[in-house]
Amino acid sequence: MTTVDTRQTIDYDRLFLGGEWTEPTTEDRIQVHSATTHELVGSVPEGREGDIDAAVAAARAAFDDPSGWAHFTPTQRGEVLERFAKALEARGAETARRVTVQNGMPTWLSQQWEQGFPPMLVRFFVDLVKQTQEEIRPGLLGKQTMVIRKPIGVVGQIVPWNVPQAITFLGMAPALAAGCTVVLKPSPETVLDAFMLAEAAEEAGLPAGVVNIIPGGREVGAYLVSHPGVDKVSFTGSTAAGRKVAAACGELLRPVTLELGGKSAAVILDDADLDSQLEDFFGNTMINNGQVCWTSTRILVPSSRYDEITGTLADLYSGLAVGDPLDPATKVGPLVSERQRERVEGYIAVGKQEARLLVGGGRPHGIDQGWFVEPTVFADVDPKARIAQEEIFGPVLSIIRYEDEQQATQIANDSEYGLGGSVWTADSDRGEAFARTVRSGTFGVNGYANDPVAPFGGVKSSGLGRELGPEGLAAFQEIKTIYLDRPNA
């Protein structure tokens, strides 16, 4: 019998920095395993401090070049970035596939978010920069003033593994469009997609040093955050890590955008027609296997319809297709890693003590590998319970009963977080009025979609600053005022 070894891994030997594929400073490597099969799917060099030094130096030189990227006109940068968008599009399907293999994101979703969003965001911010550069204001003191926007400088960007490409471009697209240069540190769990990004940057002919990518763990991330050559930090990740990043940036007086954790509420009002909204409701509560910061993981159900709605939700979450995320029919794939599954299962054990298990609570039957957890729903959850207060980051939901809208608002606001949320109602005006009452950076009426035109971000422990929209561009710009020697017109 002949044995054919069909294993194929994606391996890179060099790091992309300074516009070149560069020998890493050490022989350390990151090995990436499939969340579904546990197989080794690839490996890349693991960045160390010396690699960050070289990447920041390259980004610094590119930014400080007096005829370089920061001094291109918006149109000139736009031409280069349009080539970048096209190069990303050309690789989009493979990028999405790599994300799905690495972190278990269902393929229909990685095609929307990881393939679709990056080029869209690049083009959106290029257009925005072309519209918003300079402003003349008639002065109160007799002469005109001019307000101009300049790129903020070298950006140190740190991203998590859950939606690695779309999250990268929430920061990288406005940074590049504004004229900044970027050192990106992806999470070790999802690095193979970041190398596709590097290949796209190379093919598009981004000037040397404009994009540099150093994969690595938290120590390397911390080193980047405090590096003297960095002007601005863009961090997406857990609230615990965000506090450390904020402390380091505070000490250095370094501007920082923080996109952190969440525990948002989906509030079902007493007039809601949930049966006609189940797809959107699932999307708002358990998308990406429950590993999204803005998902509404607390479901607030009115007392007047509690049993009926709880029954509808039990049917919804017990009927989801769980399995191979590469299968387009799969709704819920595996968690990213063993560590993540342990964490989520720990919370399920807590939930079994604190509340009534309605759906799931174990590992799916018939699947013997992959970091799977059953879609799990607890009912009769006390708003103060740990499973209602702490971010679980897995397919685990808490149903909480409320008596009236005022109490629903109060429960929704009873959280250290304030990132997303949603309200479900047959009356969109009533939904809008309710949305205004919740203390969060974003909120959806009968759905939730991060439209790029509007700012996205959190209040309280969910973060500082905003991404997307003109506000997301402003985060990568310095505002400079010039008092002109020109009388008011």
Which of 44-52, 155-163, 176-184, 425-433 is the region at the interface with ligand NAD (rule: CB under 6 A)?
155-163
Give yes or no for residue 161 binding ligand NAD (CB under 6 A): yes
Q: Fill in the DSSP letter of residue 284.
A: H
Give yes or no for residue 463 binding ligand NAD (CB under 6 A): yes
Which residue, 189 or 405, has its beta carbon nearer to ligand NAD? 189
Catalytic residue numbers read: 259
Q: Is 251 exposed, middle or buried (0-12, 13-18, 19+ CB in 10 A)?
A: exposed
Furthest-apart CA pair in the chain: how many Å? 92
Give yes or no for residue 130 binding ligand NAD (CB under 6 A): no
Give yes or no for residue 238 binding ligand NAD (CB under 6 A): yes
Which of 105-113, 217-225, 363-371, 401-409 is the region at the interface with ligand NAD (rule: CB under 6 A)?
217-225
The Cβ of residue 83 has, within 10 Å, a number of other Cβ atoms equal to 16
What are the beta bridge partners of residue 28? none
Give the interface size with ligand NAD as a residue count (CB under 6 A): 29
Pick from 90, 93, 136, 222: which binds ligand NAD (CB under 6 A)?
Answer: 222
How far apart (Å, rounded) are the C-alpha atoms in residues 400 and 380? 6
Pick from 213, 391, 397, 415: which binds ligand NAD (CB under 6 A)?
Answer: 391
Give yes or no for residue 409 binding ligand NAD (CB under 6 A): no
Going by C-alpha positions, the residue among 85, 167, 179, 46 that lies closest to residue 467 is 167
Which residue, 174 or 262, has its beta carbon nearer to ligand NAD? 262
Which residue, 222 or 278, has its beta carbon nearer to ligand NAD? 222
Give yes or no for residue 372 binding ligand NAD (CB under 6 A): no
Least distance (Å) between residue 457 CB and ligand NAD: 7
Which position's Cβ is nearest ligand NAD?
Answer: 221
Pick from 231, 259, 374, 405: which binds ligand NAD (CB under 6 A)?
Answer: 259
Category of 27 on φ-ψ map: left (φ > 0), alpha (ψ -120 to 50) or beta: alpha
Pick from 41, 54, 80, 167: which binds ligand NAD (CB under 6 A)?
Answer: 167
Give yes or no for residue 114 binding ligand NAD (CB under 6 A): no
Least distance (Å) between residue 335 CB and ligand NAD: 11
Give yes or no for residue 225 binding ligand NAD (CB under 6 A): yes
Pick from 55, 70, 101, 158: which binds ligand NAD (CB under 6 A)?
Answer: 158
Which of 35-43, 141-149, 193-201, 218-226 is the region at the interface with ligand NAD (rule: CB under 6 A)?
218-226
Which of 18-26, 145-153, 197-205, 240-248 is the region at the interface with ligand NAD (rule: CB under 6 A)?
240-248
What are φ and ψ of residue 367, in 5° steps?
-120, 115
Give yes or no for residue 160 binding ligand NAD (CB under 6 A): yes
**Is residue 225 helix, strand or coil?**
helix
- Residue 400 Cα distances to 165, 272, 377, 411, 446, angstroms: 34, 16, 11, 9, 19
Report which secondary-structure segment, H or E, holds 240: helix 239-252
Q: Footprint of ligand NAD on residues 290-309 (CB under 6 A)? A: 293
- Residue 92 Cα distances to 85, 465, 481, angstroms: 10, 29, 41
Give yes or no for residue 218 binding ligand NAD (CB under 6 A): yes
Give yes or no for residue 166 binding ligand NAD (CB under 6 A): no
| Pure H helices in 304-451 | 306-318, 338-354, 386-389, 405-413, 428-435
Q: What strands, in cross-sheet order, belong to the sheet with 134-137?
A: 134-137, 143-151, 477-487
What is the gyration radius of the CA atoms in the chain, in angstroms?
A: 23
Least distance (Å) between residue 366 CB and ligand NAD: 28
Give yes or no for residue 245 binding ligand NAD (CB under 6 A): yes
Which residue, 18 or 47, has its beta carbon nearer to ligand NAD? 47
What are φ and ψ of residue 364, in 5° steps?
-65, 140
Amino acid of residue 484: L
Give yes or no for residue 260 binding ligand NAD (CB under 6 A): yes
Pick from 244, 343, 386, 439: which binds ligand NAD (CB under 6 A)?
Answer: 244
Going by C-alpha positions, the residue among 189, 237, 186 that lies closest to residue 212 is 186
Give yes or no for residue 250 binding ligand NAD (CB under 6 A): no
Which residue, 146 or 459, has its beta carbon nearer to ligand NAD? 459
Which residue, 323 or 457, has its beta carbon nearer to ligand NAD? 457
How far apart (Å, rounded) are the C-alpha atoms in residues 391 and 237? 12
Least distance (Å) between residue 170 CB and ligand NAD: 7
Q: Is 27 exposed, middle or buried (0-12, 13-18, 19+ CB in 10 A)?
A: exposed
CA dihedral angle for residue 456, residue 460, residue 465, residue 466, rounded to 10 degrees: 0
Give yes or no for residue 286 binding ligand NAD (CB under 6 A): no
- Please report the sign of the dihedral spanned by the C-alpha atoms of residue 467, residue 470, residue 473, residue 477: negative
Going by C-alpha positions, the residue among 475, 474, 464 that lies closest to residue 236 is 464
Interacting residues with ligand NAD (CB under 6 A) = 158-162, 167, 185, 187, 217-218, 221-222, 225, 236-238, 241, 244-245, 259-262, 293, 391, 393, 419, 458, 463
